[in-house]
Amino acid sequence: MSYTKLLNRNHNSVNQSIALIDCNNFYASCERIFNPKLIGKPIVVLSNNDGCIIARSKEAKKLGIKMGEPYFKAKNIIEKNDVKVFSSNYSLYGDISQRVMETLSSFSSEVEIYSIDEAFLGLNGFENYELNTYCRHIRQIIKRWVGIPVSIGVGPTKTLSKIANHLAKKQPEYKGVCILKNKIEIKKALELTSIEEVWGIGRRLSLFLKKYNIHNAYQFSQMDRGWIRKNMGVVGEKTYLELNSVSCLELDLVPSDKQSCCVSRSFSQPIEKLFDLEESISTYGSRVSEKIREEGLVAESMSIFVLTNHFNRREKQYSNSIKLHLPFPTNNSIKIVKRALEGIRKIYRPGFRYKKAGIILYGLSRHNVTRGLLDYDRDTSDRIMNTIDNINSRYGSSTLKIASEGIEKIWKMKRENVSPCYTTRFEELVEVKA
């Protein structure tokens, strides 16, 4: 449907039901699945190199621990209150997320995975009481099968389902499920939602709207549509229509292919030698190649970048990047790493202490694109990569790897409090003794 036709619709979408399922405190909840002693305890999860706090349980939030706060700044509160600290374990979190999404797909044929811990579901055809029962059943099944608590918000549009989900999570009387269908319920919910919490508004636009005495979502929904279009553009008008039950954001059931893919890390300690940079960029090149192979994509070009620690004013600073074209579209780790090493050697400068490096692949397309006259033997390449991927999947990441990735890796990311990969490594499976 064209945007013009969409905006000219004068009927609403009250018969449509879109549910947003959001995993509660997802990273912290993942840590609790295999360690029940953590239930009810304050938990924080740290970013790469154990730098900043990127996730908190509700108990940790009550202690005043802030999102994004450097770990060292919160250490006194953490130690005083016996807060459990975990390094990020993305292998575990990614696998648990996949299990949640697979479970959701059994409840609806219309599933849009929005993020690692959120998904939209199309749930049309239910009466209100049936919808409430069905959503509570979904919550119970996900908790029983996967071990993750979720909140569910339902509305006639995506934006209203976002607001409903926020209420389901924050207001105890909803018991984890909030359904907004009639005008009275929607009005009450919009009045309870501050303008900066509306999906698509954000901080900058909320400051602008507050100058016009618009402080909550209901006030915004009652504004003149022409004024919104003039001052906030198409995005603002879509948000306005969505709050008035006119669906402008359809479920994205077939996600678009990525345009780029990046793997970068900060080092656990500054490195100065080219050899160590080569090890790191080889490791990142292998990982980014695996990621695009998982999605059936190939890359046409790449960028390699390095930088020093710009927060350390006492040291000389340097940053640089280089764009490199691949001779043919590929997802072959060996080809990509070889080209990446050429790039890192060109931008490396001695005498600097490097803090971070990374690789970005560009020009991603489906693997089955038409082959060029100078194309390589893709069938042989695919067989080699499939063999490596299958072995690493079965026996653990990096069981087989490129020699230039190294062994000791003094630059390797710091993860002092990482939990076991309970679901993705045989050697870290939980042992039950009876």
In a domain, 368, yes or no: yes
**How many domains does one find in the chain?**
2
Residues 154 and 125 grouped into a single domain: yes
Residue 376 has a pLDDT of 55
Residues 343 and 215 grouped into a single domain: no
- Cβ atoms within 10 A of the Cβ of 375, count? 13
In which residue are the tokens 């080209």 written?
339
Residues 19 and 155 grouped into a single domain: yes
Residue 375 has a pLDDT of 53
d(CA 158, CA 247): 7
Residues 371 and 286 grouped into a single domain: yes
Residues 110 and 230 grouped into a single domain: yes
In a domain, 32, yes or no: no
Q: Are 198 and 240 in contact (CB under 8 A)?
A: no
Nearest residue to 360 (alpha-carbon basis) of 317, 303, 306? 303
CATH of the domain at 175: 3.30.70.270
d(CA 340, CA 322): 10
Residue 346: burial class (beta carbons within 10 Å; 0-12, 13-18, 19+): exposed
Residue 121 has a pLDDT of 95
Residues 109 and 236 grouped into a single domain: yes
Q: Are 296 and 386 in contact (CB under 8 A)?
A: no
Residue 8 has a pLDDT of 44
Q: What is the pTM of this model?
A: 0.79
In a domain, 420, yes or no: no
Residues 239 and 271 grouped into a single domain: no
d(CA 21, CA 114): 10
Tokens of 402: 């490129």
Residue 305 has a pLDDT of 95
In a domain, 77, yes or no: no
In a domain, 35, yes or no: no
Tokens of 104: 């959701």
- Cβ atoms within 10 A of the Cβ of 210, count? 13
Residues 287 and 204 grouped into a single domain: no
What is the pairing mode between strands 365-366 and 43-46? unpaired
3-state secondary structure of 91: helix
d(CA 267, CA 30): 26
d(CA 157, CA 142): 24
- Identify each DSSP E strand in 260-340 by its residue range: 260-271, 297-308, 319-330
CATH of the domain at 315: 3.30.1490.100
**Host domain of residue 202:** 3-23+93-243
d(CA 367, CA 297): 5
Q: Are 24 and 100 in contact (CB under 8 A)?
A: no
Residue 1 has a pLDDT of 44
Angle at 146 between CA 415 and CA 34, to 5 degrees: 45
Nearest residue to 245 (alpha-carbon basis) of 188, 202, 186, 198? 186
Weakly modelled stretches of the chain, pLDDT under 50: 1-13, 370, 373-374
Q: Are 354 and 270 in contact (CB under 8 A)?
A: yes
CA distances, 210 to each of 142, 189, 203, 204, 205 (Å): 40, 19, 11, 10, 9
Backbone phi and psi for residue 249, each to the nearest 5 degrees, phi listed first? -115, 100
Residue 11 has a pLDDT of 42
Residue 102 amino acid letter: E
**How is the chain split among helix, strand and coil, in percent rounded to 5?**
45, 20, 35
Alpha helices (runs of H) in 213-328, residue ranges in sequence order: 217-221, 225-243, 274-294
3-state secondary structure of 90: helix
Residues 203 and 327 grouped into a single domain: no
Distance of alpha carbon 15 from the chain centroid: 31
| Boundary of a domain, candidates 208, 243, 278 | 243
In a domain, 43, yes or no: no
- Cβ atoms within 10 A of the Cβ of 165, count? 26
In a domain, 326, yes or no: yes
d(CA 390, CA 403): 18
- Identify each DSSP E strand in 317-368 by its residue range: 319-330, 354-362, 365-366
**Residue 273 DSSP symbol:** -
